């Protein structure tokens, strides 16, 4: 097939004047090269499209692809991860990963937790603080955990994210509201084990790849999988593949979340245990990072013996199956005729 690749390259935005923090979620050239090499190794032809603005120009020129491998995160707004899929939907071009609805809901952690709670899946008590006056309505027991409602890569999460009283809650929310210009998710702090579950597939074909425990080391900021800990994961974090009762529960809950939200092709679900050992949903990432070395789902695959190229192949196979793509050459002829 002819596969286009959409992405946000961090260095492009840095050149435009955006900060290191603003571009923390964006991809490196190593990621794009690894995806492209993997696609070529399984027989596909590739074209680098780039970010949403480049996609707009390409579509306007009449460019089409049999499939787009989409990892574009977008820059602004709750729908930023949905921009590329929405455009591709409008032009009838199939793509990998979830649709605009799922990506928008998942990005807004408060909305995702409301849906998950409605599905009967355990998640910590929470509130969304849109402005300072909302803090008075937070009815959750301390200690609490606060973070921006719609950021990834642990942005905005630090040692001060765990708050113990009303004064800390107010101060922490004020800082996050000012810094990120978006609401703050406030939820009950869970002191137990933390897991991430990798998933491949869609609907009834979705399967958990395995459950990985996140263990903070001596040099790490304690208790919290913070931005600093994630950035320096090689010295601060140990990822351990686990296969015990809690791991099985985590995998089951992760699949329930994945299917309940309608996530597609591949991604990751993060979970944590409460003080009694009960596994709770934290958040879902239906557009998980695919850096060939340090992205969580790639680390998990490496631990269970799945090569990077095989992961990419399974993602493409899932997208082809649900999009009913049997032979890319036929679609290509139709595009050429039009």
Do residues 249 and 122 make contact, with C-beta atoms less than 8 angstroms apart?
A: no
- Yes or no: say if 34 and 98 are a contact pair by the CB < 8 Å rule: no
Q: In whole angstroms, what is the distance from residue 226 CA to residue 156 CA? A: 8
Angle at alpha carbon of residue 20, lines to 18 and 26, rounded to 5°: 85
Domains of the chain: 2-106 (3.40.50), 125-188 (3.30.1490.20), 194-320 (3.30.470.20)
CA atoms within 13 A on the CB side of 208: 23
| Side-by-side strand order, sheet with 207-216 | 237-242, 207-216, 194-200, 266-273, 279-285
SS3 (DSSP) at 282: strand
Rounded CA-CA distance 285/108 in Å is 11
Predicted local confidence at residue 259, as pLDDT? 98
Burial 260-284 (b: 16+ CB within 10 A, else e): ebbbbbbbbbbbbbeeeeebbbbbb
| pLDDT score for 227 | 86
Quick one: pLDDT at residue 301? 98
Among candidates 292, 112, 86, 299, which has minimal Cα distance to 211? 299
What is residue 333's predicted lDDT score, i.e. its pLDDT?
A: 36
> What is the DSSP code (8-state) at residue 314?
H
The number of beta carbons lying within 10 Å of the beta carbon of residue 93 is: 22
Q: Which residues pair with 324 in a beta bridge?
A: none
Q: What are phi and psi of 235, to 5 degrees?
A: -105, -20
Q: What distances in angstroms separate CA 319 from CA 18, 95, 264, one per listed residue?
A: 33, 7, 8
The answer to whether the CB of 295 falls within 8 A of the CB of 239 is no
| Residuewise pLDDT in 10s, the chain (338 residues) | 999 999 999 999 999 999 988 899 999 999 999 999 999 999 999 999 999 999 999 999 999 999 999 999 999 999 999 999 999 999 999 999 999 999 999 999 999 999 999 999 999 999 999 999 999 999 999 999 999 999 988 899 999 999 999 999 999 999 999 999 999 999 999 999 999 999 999 999 999 999 999 999 988 999 999 988 988 989 999 999 999 999 999 999 999 999 999 999 999 999 999 999 999 999 999 999 999 999 999 999 999 999 999 999 999 999 999 999 875 544 443 333 33
Angle between helices 100-107 and 83-90 (to 10 degrees): 170
Query: b/e for 117-155, b at 16 or more Cβ within 10 A?
Result: eeeebebbebbbbeeeebbeebebeebbbbbbbbbbbbb
Q: How many beta carbons lie within 10 A of that of residue 175, not counting itself?
A: 15
The answer to whether 225 touches 217, Cβ cutoff 8 Å, is: no
Cross-strand bridge partners of residue 36: none
How buried is 198 (Cβ within 10 angstroms: 0-12 exposed, 13-18 middle, 19+ buried)? buried
Residue 285, strand partner residues? 268
Task: Give residue 327's pLDDT.
Answer: 56
- Strands 194-200 and 207-216, by their bridges, are antiparallel
pTM: 0.94
Question: Under a CB-based contact definition with an 8 Å cutoff, are residues 69 and 58 in contact?
Answer: no
């Amino acid at each position: 097939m002819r596969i286009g690749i959409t992405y946000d390259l961090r260095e492009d935005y840095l050149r435009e004047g955006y900060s290191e923090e603003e571009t923390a979620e964006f991809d490196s050239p190593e990621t794009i090269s690894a995806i492209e090499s993997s696609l070529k190794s399984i027989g596909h032809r590739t074209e680098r499209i780039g970010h949403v603005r480049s996609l707009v120009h390409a579509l306007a020129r009449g460019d089409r692809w049999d499939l787009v491998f989409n990892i574009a995160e977008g820059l602004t707004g709750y729908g930023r991860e949905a921009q590329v899929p929405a455009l591709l939907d409008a032009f009838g071009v199939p793509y990998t990963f979830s649709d605009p609805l799922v990506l928008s809901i998942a990005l807004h952690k408060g909305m995702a937790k409301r849906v998950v709670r409605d599905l009967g899946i355990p998640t910590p008590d929470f509130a969304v603080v849109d402005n300072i006056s909302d803090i008075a309505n937070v009815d959750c027991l301390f200690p609490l955990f606060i973070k921006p409602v719609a950021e990834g890569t642990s942005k905005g999460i630090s040692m001060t994210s765990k708050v113990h009283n009303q004064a800390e809650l107010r101060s922490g929310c004020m800082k996050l509201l000012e810094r990120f210009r978006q609401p703050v998710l406030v939820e009950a702090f869970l002191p137990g084990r933390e897991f991430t579950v990798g998933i491949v597939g869609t609907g009834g074909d979705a399967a958990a790849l395995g459950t990985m425990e996140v263990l903070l080391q001596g040099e790490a900021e304690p208790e919290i999988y913070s931005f600093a800990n994630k950035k320096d994961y090689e010295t601060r974090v140990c990822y351990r593949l686990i296969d015990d009762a809690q791991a099985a529960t985590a995998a089951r809950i992760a699949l329930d979340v994945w299917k309940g939200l309608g996530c597609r092709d591949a991604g990751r679900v993060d979970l944590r245990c409460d003080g009694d050992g009960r596994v709770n949903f934290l958040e879902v990432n239906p557009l998980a990072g695919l850096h060939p070395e340090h992205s969580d789902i790639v680390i998990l695959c490496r631990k269970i013996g799945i090569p990077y190229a095989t992961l990419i192949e399974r993602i493409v196979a899932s997208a082809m199956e649900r999009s009913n793509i049997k032979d890319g050459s036929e679609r290509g002829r139709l595009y050429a005729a039009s």
